[in-house]
Structure 1
């Protein structure tokens, strides 16, 4: 085989470039332009940019910014565009996360099937795809991670570590996407999913499980007695000792003022009837009542909802009637109110002449009121 033939094969395999094309385009300007155009079209299809073929201009979108921030592949974004809806349950959310192409290189091995089936039986929701498919395996291992179920197979341990390392990032990206789409229901559920993955616990479990200092024994007692955070907060130390025994770790956490600090508190205003979020400070109030939700970015079950009622809200008229006064009447009234007998109005006077007149007036020692009007 000739050297040129070998180079042509290698460049064609790696870059898709033929040797004769390189001869016709030594600087590869056309080839590089074609690569950029193909990539831009793919990003435009995924709605990550807006690309104009005619002009070559490309503008990034909010979706593209989010994908760049969280290192999400464009083909994963295409999956999000296809399957992400304004209303989804936990099973649907886990299914979308599991189909991310970031997990495409994982394999389903025969020696793992028995353990995967056992893990699937312990899942809180049915893993779509089952243990036979990669996305089903990812789903099972995600739920096993949240439930803190021990995985024995060495290959599954490696896979679950990789999955959990990437799943939080992907879920946070999904949360930002629905936040920009103004979907409050999905924003709340995806934020909850991200925190469940971070803290390895389900949202229906006791929030106290988020504290690593608390032993399994204490958590079991709290859950058996169905003690909420509000109930525990209202208990005095004697009640806590009587109900759960004396545990230094418990009191250390409860007395630690920084335990519940989050750093980021998310607040949004939502319309529950239309599942729409008003996430900006300025928005049009077209409904008589709204809900303001404050959610911790870190802690589960750390959120609050407040009803805002605009039933009796009195607003000024959009277009109040004019007073009918001229500028001369207004000037005279203002002058009299401050002790001036006559108001002087300089209008349409060039700036140099205005400076001269102002200098003459100020040297008299009389009271002066200066009003600057908008340019006409």
Structure 2
């Protein structure tokens, strides 16, 4: 929907081609993709299959799991005997766990051996048997080695690439007759067989914490492997399921249930992603975005299914329903602080938390939990608990048969867990720690839960780190970043940093962890002393080579106060390690943190990326400039820390002392604002001045406050006020005062030529007849012409660059010395790209004034 909307908004044509297995509501999908039904919609039903599919559904009536499994295995054996033994057809058997592949294959093999029917399954020619025996010797998987000589193969994602390739080739050549595999083969490898059996239709879903039925897409994909176009006239698909599920699969494959949209369950999180991208800025834009989704198409087709009640009967485009959906989603996001939602105007603005949620695919409920839990006092122990509280794990239960293993794990993990073994949060916490500790687990469901928890760990922990960074909590940021690295490297901070080098032998790591020597001392040792320290003389050179590759930085800082509240820091970063592309890749990331004197609050943070080519350059010093605030009273010091984003124990820390820091003088206090009534125009006292403002009766509040300072005195004045508040009239007060006092010249400066042109046009029409007639000129940037204009003009308009050229040689230019009023407009641009020129000309005006005063 995002892509289609972008095409319509930008006019940049992007072609979308949608491919799918057969589905009944293909017209809905075509409508969603904006396909021309007459030219772009192609639908091929079952009659187009190269091999027609014969379907067989077998329902198992047994209720007990063990009996149910034995019955399914016996059915598989009978089907193997029928298809492979009698009809010499190859067969794929799909199961739903890696362990089950070997268990099923061995059960069928053992039963065939027991009943002496294995000869029917094996190919009769000696060459084929010889190939199987040879291949069995070369494979590394023990189960596969055991099964191959009997014509059985197994295939799953946990096997090595070489083993999987061998099995695929043996099956393709016909040497392996029966292949027991997981669904990864259906999705990833095009390996058809005459007969496909789906043994059992329930798979374990860690996300839901329970056994669920196979998705229609998986079933269609698996059955799609039945039938070999070059050999067969038809293929056979056999589904073995429980008796109560048979009706579901019959209707799914024959009548085919329509594919429904799942967007409503994740609408708030998807809306947040669109808001962060800037695609949705208001409620109305959200409603428009929803109109591009598949959900909208299905709501129009099946209103009852999507709770579109009688209230929306007159609404043909379901606009009000979409408004309600977007409004509800925006309220949920606002509650979690992911957006700011103006209910009356309909504006939706993203927050930093919203950006983090979108970037790391975190749900709004999880973000609400993290935001509430991450406080300055949170400890590393509690950070593990915050991870376990994630919405992503809410369906993972604690099963009765897991409690004994979880209790053992609880005793082995290093971080204490607050909850009891019966609580799911305890299980999540223990599983994460078990993963970091590299502990082995038994039990399929527990292993599947571990995989699910650890797959989510990287992004969740990074989100927790960024939330702490946003809140500026120094100790929490370091703990959270450490936790990210623990999960990525699978090691605890107490372990040797040598574990981070994959090529470091295990015996060296064990020796290093037994000796109590700080990591910083390793960098000072030569190979003989290193070997002596570890008690492995021959390993000294190898360990020294690894230590030299450990990312280590040297940092130095220079500070300079810019104002009494702002400090400029120039940080010099020098890499002190050997770059190895296999270890470090093309670049290494580091975090720069500036902490207050107590090490509690982060005053500044930024990411620093060190690239290979710059790290290896001869001049490899890197300068990073930034500003940090200074508080009153001035603290004794700040701390600068540079932490590696990936490597544990890679840290450089520097204390920046303020003992000899001299701050600039305090600025004079702001002029107090008086409680004044708006001043009448008559306060200008001269008719020709009053006539400049024919439509006005009074000046506004800002002009009233500044009137006396500008019109009745010759002091320097700074007026800071928002755009459109009448500052130009304030400048005119100073000009009118100047022209009543004498013959000196006035200069008006503005940073942009467009502003000069607009002001010139206005003043040329209004001010030329004032005080006996005034010549108003604007400089053009050509020195000879500008010198002439400078001599002629009473009021000179110029950009800072133009006035810089004129005022540089002021000692020899009488007309520059004759300037007695300088109006610097849009002075906030002094911090812009060419602000240094503006700063220079204003400072020079001060210098000229002082030197002329002193003669």
TM-score range, shorter chain: 0.7 to 0.9
Q: Relative to structure 1, is the Cα distance of residues 180 and 29 closer, same or farther in structure 2, using a 3 angstrom cutoff?
A: same
Does the 8 Å contact 1:91/1:126 carry over to 2? yes
Does the 8 Å contact 1:213/1:249 carry over to 2? no
Q: 1:347 aligns with which of 746, 751, 760?
A: 746
Residue by residue over 1:232-259, the C-alpha shift from the partner in whole angstroms, topping out at 9 and shown as x without a partner, is 2211111223332323753542354125
Distance (Å, rounded) in 2 between the aligned partners of 1:250 and 1:111: 45
Counterpart check, 1:258 vs 2:579 = yes
Correspondence 1:152-191 to 2 at 5 A: 152-191=442-481
Tell me the residue number matched to 1:98: 388
Does the 8 Å contact 1:184/1:270 carry over to 2? yes
Q: 1:358 aligns with which of 784, 787, 792?
A: 787
Q: 1:292 aligns with which of 633, 640, 645?
A: 640
Counterpart check, 1:113 vs 2:512 = no
RMSD: 3.1
Distance (Å, rounded) in 2 between the aligned partners of 1:170 and 1:91: 16
Highest CA radius of gyration, 1 or 2? 2
**3-state SS of paired residue (1:315):** coil
Does the 8 Å contact 1:66/1:177 carry over to 2? yes
Q: 1:237 aligns with which of 499, 523, 527?
A: 527
**3-state SS of paired residue (1:290):** strand
Tell me the residue number matched to 2:592: 267
Distance (Å, rounded) in 2 between the aligned partners of 1:93 and 1:200: 17
Residue by residue over 1:60-107, the C-alpha shift from the partner in whole angstroms, topping out at 9 and shown as x without a partner, is 111111111111100111111332211212221001101101122323
Tell me the residue number matched to 1:200: 490
- Tell me how far 1:231 sits from its aligned partner: 1.8
Tell me the residue number matched to 2:604: 279
Counterpart check, 1:311 vs 2:602 = no
**3-state SS of paired residue (1:152):** coil
Counterpart check, 1:85 vs 2:375 = yes
- Tell me how far 1:188 sits from its aligned partner: 0.8
Stretches of structure 1 lacking an aligned partner (at least 5 in a row): 1-6, 328-343
Does the 8 Å contact 1:182/1:277 carry over to 2? yes
Distance (Å, rounded) in 2 between the aligned partners of 1:63 and 1:353: 50
Tell me the residue number matched to 1:336: none
Residue by residue over 1:153-202, the C-alpha shift from the partner in whole angstroms, topping out at 9 and shown as x without a partner, is 22222221221111121111011111111111111110111111111111
Count of matched residue positions in the alignment of Structure 1 and Structure 2: 345
- Tell me how far 1:326 sits from its aligned partner: 9.9
Residue by residue over 1:297-339, the C-alpha shift from the partner in whole angstroms, topping out at 9 and shown as x without a partner, is 111111122111112211221338xxxx999xxxxxxxxxxxx
Counterpart check, 1:75 vs 2:365 = yes
Q: Relative to structure 1, is the Cα distance of residues 32 and 245 closer, same or farther in structure 2, using a 3 angstrom cutoff?
A: same
Tell me the residue number matched to 1:17: 308
Counterpart check, 1:140 vs 2:417 = no
- Tell me how far 1:33 sits from its aligned partner: 0.2
Distance (Å, rounded) in 2 between the aligned partners of 1:193 and 1:107: 24
Distance (Å, rounded) in 2 between the aligned partners of 1:161 and 1:271: 40
**3-state SS of paired residue (1:55):** coil
Stretches of structure 2 lacking an aligned partner (at least 5 in a row): 1-298, 550-577, 606-625, 669-713, 717-742, 748-774, 792-810, 826-855
Tell me the residue number matched to 1:37: 327
Counterpart check, 1:211 vs 2:660 = no
Counterpart check, 1:226 vs 2:516 = yes
Distance (Å, rounded) in 2 between the aligned partners of 1:255 and 1:123: 32
Does the 8 Å contact 1:128/1:139 carry over to 2? no
- Tell me how far 1:353 sits from its aligned partner: 8.9
**3-state SS of paired residue (2:349):** strand
Distance (Å, rounded) in 1 between the aligned partners of 2:478 and 2:790: 66
Distance (Å, rounded) in 2 between the aligned partners of 1:357 and 1:246: 80
Q: Relative to structure 1, is the Cα distance of residues 118 and 253 closer, same or farther in structure 2, using a 3 angstrom cutoff?
A: same
Residue by residue over 1:15-65, the C-alpha shift from the partner in whole angstroms, topping out at 9 and shown as x without a partner, is 2222x2342222111110000000000000000001111111111111111
**3-state SS of paired residue (1:317):** coil
Tell me the residue number matched to 2:71: none
Q: Relative to structure 1, is the Cα distance of residues 244 and 49 closer, same or farther in structure 2, using a 3 angstrom cutoff?
A: same
Correspondence 1:39-78 to 2 at 5 A: 39-78=329-368
Does the 8 Å contact 2:485/2:647 carry over to 1? yes
Distance (Å, rounded) in 2 between the aligned partners of 1:269 and 1:55: 40
Q: Relative to structure 1, is the Cα distance of residues 351 and 157 closer, same or farther in structure 2, using a 3 angstrom cutoff?
A: same
**3-state SS of paired residue (1:278):** strand
Tell me the residue number matched to 1:246: 538
**3-state SS of paired residue (1:279):** strand
Does the 8 Å contact 1:292/1:307 carry over to 2? yes
TM-score by length of 1: 0.82
Distance (Å, rounded) in 2 between the aligned partners of 1:203 and 1:84: 21
Distance (Å, rounded) in 2 between the aligned partners of 1:253 and 1:210: 10
Does the 8 Å contact 2:594/2:641 carry over to 1? yes
Distance (Å, rounded) in 2 between the aligned partners of 1:239 and 1:375: 69
Distance (Å, rounded) in 2 between the aligned partners of 1:274 and 1:252: 34
Distance (Å, rounded) in 1 between the aligned partners of 2:471 and 2:787: 57
Tell me the residue number matched to 1:335: none
Does the 8 Å contact 2:472/2:603 carry over to 1? yes
Does the 8 Å contact 2:779/2:789 carry over to 1? no
**3-state SS of paired residue (1:66):** helix
Q: Relative to structure 1, is the Cα distance of residues 156 and 272 closer, same or farther in structure 2, using a 3 angstrom cutoff?
A: farther
